[in-house]
Amino acid sequence: MEMSPSHKKNLVRLLAILLTFTVINGTMFNVTIPDIAESFNLMPSQVSWVMTGYILVYAIGSVMYGKLADVIPLKRLLTIGIVLFSFGSILGFLSPNYTTLLIARILQALGGAAIPALGFIIPSRYFTHDRGKVFGIISSTVAFASGVGPIAGGLIGGFLDWRFLFLVPASAALAIPLFRRWLPDEEVRSQKIDYFGAILVAIFVASLLLFVTMLIWSLLLISIIAFALLVFHINRVDSPFIDPVLLKNRRYTITIFTSFLGTSVMFGLIFVLPIMMRDLYDATTLGIGLLLFPGAMAAGIFGRFGGTLIDKKGSIYVLRIALLLVAIGVFFISVFTSSSLFLLGSAVFIAYIGFPLLQSATANLLSHMLTKEETGVGMGLFNLCNFISGAFSSAIFGSILDLEGMTFSINPLNAHGDHAIYSNLYLVLSIIAVFALFMFFAFYNRSKKA
């Protein structure tokens, strides 16, 4: 069934609003972790599961919903996801103890994972000529919401109470009748679901993310074993959870790996910046949010322009620009560390513009190289890699920041001093972005000549 232009416009607007709710829900709780710990008298290791548990379930759910979208109609999956997301939000608002709060966050993640996962599949399935523009709107919404989240969390948690944060995502239930009206009806496709493969994927992702965040080596061993069993399994069943043909597609794997590197740079920027601002500038939570806010606003504006540019110039062209902007932005953050806040904010602004362009160009490129049967799990793996890149960035750079006494700056444009560790980290991030740019450029140049 072909969607009418008005239904398409309404659907994109609704997707953008729902994505804002889910992304904000993932970031605004960061600033209220101390308040939650105080409410339930929790140790830091306990309260951290408010975020860790959410991210863990959310990451696994992103690839699961992607695969289910190849079998179950999107309308039904979105309805289930939004119901779980809203119910978990109401339960969180009413939570009388820590156990109920954790259950609420897990329910939120189980439902919320459907929205970005299916949000990237809907344009691939129903938008043909202006697909890049739609991906640009979705990606710019994600970038904008990630910058607004900490500010919203600080304001609501500061003036009211952390429980009131749950009322924001609870309102997502209002979108259910609209989605059911605007999304076309689809037939249930008869396809055998590889449940054992799905379990192996869940074990692999969960153990890998837990190892990265907790550094328990037995979890790494479990992750390696699960991955080995998964590879063995998918090559020996008729309808595997992840088709090995997809993973053998070099264009797909190179594009995914490029996105992984670029996204890890952005997550590294967002993770390190608040710590640096508090350490070097003694900035408040609101001050840190205000430094990020102009970049988030610019990402929202330029991301939509980038989507139009993708439709005109192509995904490869925009992806190169995105990686270049990210590399330049984080390099100048390295240069201006401990310098004026205006120069630092300008560098953050440049890097933030590249983020939605990177996401939308990658999503559009992937959507054109995937067959209809591969779209669900292919876009699901794209979302999963984004989460894993964030976990790796936070864990690796968090461990480096634990080192004390580093005063030598490897950036020749920055002086030595106590700020050197931050300058060095951002220089490394810029090198990663440049490496991703040259790897992507070299591969697609060879492909073009071939």
pLDDT in tens, 259-291: 899 988 988 887 788 778 877 877 766 677 677
Tokens representing 119 are: 């949000």
- Written as six digits, the tokens of 89 are 């939000």
Residue partners of 95: CB distance under 8 A and separation at least 6? 101, 104, 163
pLDDT of residue 2: 57
In tens, the pLDDT along 243-264 reads 788 888 888 889 999 989 998 8
5-179+241-445 CATH, one of 1.10.8.60, 1.10.645.10, 1.20.1250.20, 1.10.10.60: 1.20.1250.20
For residue 284, which phi and psi values (nearest 5 degrees)? -80, 170
Query: Residue 447: pLDDT band by 50, 70, 90 thresholds?
Result: low
Q: According to the model, what pLDDT value does residue 369 have?
A: 83
Q: Cα–Cα distance between 332 and 340 in angstroms, integer?
A: 12
51 pLDDT above the threshold of 60: yes
Tell me what pLDDT residue 159 has.
76
Domain-wise residue ranges, the chain? 5-179+241-445, 194-240
Q: pLDDT value at position 228? A: 93
What is the model's pLDDT at position 139? 77
Q: What is the residue-wise DSSP string for 305-335?
A: HHHHHHHHH-HHHHHHHHHHHHHHHHHHHHH
- First-to-final CA distance of the chain: 38
Radius of gyration of the chain (CA): 21
What's the pLDDT tens digit per position in 318-328?
A: 899 999 999 99
Residue with tokens 């309260």: 47
Per-residue confidence (pLDDT) for residue 274, from 0 to 100 = 75
Residue 337 clears pLDDT 60, i.e. is over it: yes
List phi, psi (to 5°) of 371. Answer: -75, 170
Proportion of the chain above pLDDT 90, given as a percent: 13
User: What is the mean pLDDT of the segment spanning 37-48?
Assistant: 75
Neighbours of 5 (CB within 10 A): 8
Token pair for 213: 């965040």
In this prediction the pTM is: 0.80
pLDDT value at position 258? 92
pLDDT digits (tens, 9 = 90+) for 62-87: 888 888 887 888 888 889 999 999 99
Between CA 203 and CA 209 the distance in angstroms is 10
- Check whether 113 has a pLDDT greater than 80: yes
What is the tens place of the pLDDT at every residue in 116-171?
Answer: 888 778 887 777 777 777 887 887 777 777 767 777 777 777 777 888 888 888 88
